Chain A
Amino acid sequence: MASLADLFSSGTLSQFLVGLSRTTILFIVSSGLTLILGVLRIPNLAHGSLYMIGAFLAYSVIHFLGDGTAAFWAALVIAPLVVAALGFLLERGFFSYLYEREHLMLLLLTFSFTLIIGDLVKLVWGAEYRSVTVPRVFQGSAEVFGLPLPYYNLFLLLIGPFIAVFLWLVVNKTKMGKIARAAAVDSEMVSAVGINVGWVFAFTFVLGCFLAGLGGALIAPMVNITLGMDHSLIMEAFLIVIMGGLGNIWGALLGSLIFGLTQSLGILVWPQFGIVFPYLAVVAVLVVRPKGLLRSTW
């Protein structure tokens, strides 16, 4: 155990910043998940699989365009769009017929999608590890209190708030977003006033999938892209969403912050057991506030 004085040493702030950048990916993925949960009421386990596809697609795009910085930007746009298109097909092809089903059924349906997608990814990209290098502009790292903070992490730090604001604008300032919010509360009422709820649902689902794909594309340069990368992430995303309150985007942000920060600051407190802190945080939150921190749309 570190002493209290150590906790306020120079490492703490840099650890804090690092925790924040880790939060970004968690937030992007879990905000998509919470949108789909809140509006469509689908506990989408396949969200992690879409994130994995996003990462593999980013690899393919960057590889195809020749590994430059431009290729990276292209991948950030193309990969999420393709994933969104895939989401559109899933929504129109399957979910649109199944909204009345029990959540448990939908959960298991999405579980079977994860099985299918896992094998399809293996068929398309094979089992070898894939890797994308950090784009040239973001290579290297900045000094924060004498400790390195990679430029790519800084970039993620900037992207996070940008996405949060973007989502806030979409949900609160666009007509589609307003309808979606209304539909989340009472979809029958919305269709009663003559609005086609089906398309609102499709839009929300596609937006959620876009975010999953974006998360995958953003994580690609930091990790080894492999089958199975969907597994740990989807569980974390679900816990974040539950912690924040189902369907609440700000809840997803808060949950991601708690998850990311308890993990990176937990390391300072108790290095060997840093891993358990996020789970303890979830347990603590749910014991105190059984419906999550912020207001749920359920």
Chain B
Amino acid sequence: MKNRHAALFLLLVLLAALPQFLPRFYTYIAAIVLLTGLLATSLNLAIGYGGIYQFHHAVFYGIGAYGTALMLTRGTMPAVFGFLAGPLASAALSLVMGLVCIRLSKLYFGMLQISLGSLVWATVYRWYSFTGGDDGIHGVPLPDAIASPQGSYYFTLAVAALSVFALYRIVRSPFGMTLQGIRDNPVRSEAIGVNVRLHQLAALVVAGFFGGVAGMLFVVVDTSVFPDMMFWTFSLEVLVMCLLGGMYTFFGPFAGAAAIVLLRVFASVYTPYWSLLLGVLLTLVIIFLPDGVAGYLVRRLRGREGVRA
């Protein structure tokens, strides 16, 4: 356990030193990796640890981004409120959608969520006077301290690290344990007096909130938002990140997100057929490494029990 903490600390130091020796473009990509990693990790709380078919996680990412962008461009309050408004809006939306969907199980839950999410997407897409419609909002003004490429990177690193740490603590808390108990055996959990729906709802709200934090970070890094961020295909991409890394490991989704972001950036430089590449890679992982790459490594390292820890 101590070794692990030391390794994590080293990783953080390394990440903090990154902008000092990396060219600007790579620093930017590193920021994108961090926020996308947070997005995948937040989804994993619902889908990996909660066993809830959160099919439209991108909606919370998008609302987090739009909430922040709208507050920063139209609001008159200090920027801090903007950074809070987005994630809080996501959490609120997550609560509302969760209340509607929670009675449903598995695929039905996922599809109802996609339906509701599509309504949210459609509203953002067409409410031109407020959200900028399909053109989106560009050139979002940021406070000077985080407007520079380095500033936005450090802000992203700090917020993403704190958020991932918070998620880690949540997963390891009694609440997280109960959640996993519900995932593995909902009937038994119900029988021993656990309020299944309340726990699942709480997991959804937390996942939505941190999805919104990731969206807020996107605004900080790219100063733009567009409705594509919350289209259902992107939700599937985030799911793929979780799967690729491994849904039953905590850091797997983060690694999966990093892999997909890097593949998208660097493979598309060399070939217009990177979807094909991604598709083949995914197929292979699903068939041969159903626990994802990280899940496979963890299993190799600790034997079968470790995987679900």
Contacts and interface: CB of A to CB of B under 8 A. Distances in A.
Given A103-B106, A105-B243, A115-B275, A286 B115 contact: yes
Contacts of B276: 115-116, 119-120
A94 B283 CA distance: 9
B218 interface: no
Given A98-B287, A276-B119, 5 more contacts: A104-B239, A231-B233, A246-B107, A279-B119, A282-B111
Contacts of B12: none
Given A108-B282, A291-B108, A282 B290 contact: no
Interface stretch (A56-64, A154-162, A234-242): A234-242
B232 interface: yes
A242 B116 CA distance: 14
Contact of A283 (B106, B112, B273, B280): B112
B115 A279 contact: yes
Interface string B27-47: 000000000000000000001
A101 interface: yes
Given A275-B122, A276-B119, A290-B104, A112 B279 contact: yes
Contacts, number: 103
A287 B108 CA distance: 11
Contacts of B119: 276, 279-280, 283
Given A94-B287, A242-B108, A276-B119, A283 B279 contact: no
A43 interface: yes
A108 B115 contact: no
A194 B203 CA distance: 45
25 contacts: A104-B239, A108-B236, A108-B239, A111-B282, A112-B279, A112-B282, A112-B283, A112-B286, A116-B280, A119-B275, A119-B279, A235-B232, A239-B114, A239-B115, A242-B111, A242-B112, A279-B115, A279-B118, A282-B111, A282-B115, A283-B100, A283-B116, A283-B119, A286-B108, A286-B111
B4 interface: no
Interface in A179-230: none
B286 A108 contact: yes
A105 B282 CA distance: 11
Contacts of B283: 94, 109, 112-113, 116
Interface in A137-195: none
Contacts of B286: 98, 101, 105, 108-109, 112
A11 interface: no
Q: Which of B105, B107, B232, B287 has the most CB of A within 10 A?
A: B107
Contacts of A287: 100
A135 B246 CA distance: 51
Interface in B160-219: none
Given A98-B287, A104-B53, A115 B282 contact: yes
Contacts of B281: 112
A266 interface: no
A290 B113 CA distance: 12
B267 to A, nearest CB: 12
Contacts of A113: 279, 283
Interface string A82-124: 0000000000001001100101110011011111101110110
B294 to A, nearest CB: 16
Interface string A44-57: 01000000000000
Closest 10 CB pairs of A and B: A115-B279, A112-B282, A116-B279, A119-B276, A242-B111, A112-B279, A115-B275, A282-B115, A286-B112, A109-B286
A109 B232 CA distance: 17
Interface in A257-282: 275-276, 279-280, 282
B103 interface: yes
A116 B278 CA distance: 8
A116 B275 CA distance: 6
Q: Which of A43, A94, A111, A292 has the most CB of B within 10 A?
A: A111
Contacts of A280: 119
